[in-house]
Chain A
Amino acid sequence: MATPEELKQRIEAAIPGAEAEVTSADNVHFQARVVAAAFEGKNRVEQHRMVYGAFDPGELGGAVHALQLRTETP
């Protein structure tokens, strides 16, 4: 089962320079706030896709049932 710490590390590894705060009450539903300079010049859909890139196909909606996401630039 994924933990918030594991998701934080994966998101930060997928987006160089990103800082992620990840929380979860049940290790199935997660909330993440990701701040990254790499988001600059990208719309929200592109920003969220970059974060989703840290996950395997089928993982979101599967083991990670829900990821509530907020992306920001520093």
Chain B
Amino acid sequence: MSDNPLRDAIAEAIRDNKVILFMKGTPEQPMCGFSARAAGAVQATGVPFAAVDILPDPRIRQELTAISNWPTTPQLFVDGELVGGSDIVVEMLETGELHEVLGAEKPAEAPAVTSEADASGPAPLGIENRLG
């Protein structure tokens, strides 16, 4: 047991969750525009992720910053590595890098919903769709 259980708990959460976002508020109810954008970007990839609200205790942010050497929140970690804050995460979503880093299927060139998507897009993954 170290003398800093909170820092240990944060480090453990980063280690144990493949994708983890530290943010103000929750993905359902973000308390800051930057956190909302970062959460939205990760959600857009469809990859499940863990989220930690840093607001309940100011020490969470303190210890997180000490671990990550990153001054602001949100912070996205993948495979234990800091990927970035909201600007980087949003930029990576735009370039398709976020899908790559998260191991998600790349979106079609035009993410907007089009009726042609069925013809050219990847086949649905659900197995029931292949049995018909």
Q: Which residue numbers of A lie inside 8 Å of B, CB to CB?
A: 44-45, 48-49, 52, 55, 57, 60-61, 66-70
Contacts and interface: CB of A to CB of B under 8 A. Distances in A.
A61 B71 contact: yes
A68 B72 contact: no
A68 B87 contact: yes
A55 B84 contact: no
Contacts of A52: 70-71
Interface of B: 34, 69-73, 82-85, 87-88, 91-92
Contacts of A68: 34, 87
Contact of B70 (A49, A66, A67): A49
Nearest to A32: B87
A45 B84 contact: yes
A44 B84 contact: yes
Contacts of A55: 71
A44 B101 CA distance: 13
Contact of B88 (A48, A57, A61, A67): A48
Nearest to A57: B71
A52 B84 CA distance: 13
B34 A66 contact: yes
B91 to A, nearest CB: 7
Given A45-B70, A66-B34, 10 more contacts: A44-B91, A45-B88, A48-B85, A49-B69, A52-B70, A60-B72, A61-B71, A67-B72, A68-B87, A69-B87
A57 B34 CA distance: 20
A36 to B, nearest CB: 16
Contacts of A66: 34, 72
A60 B71 contact: yes
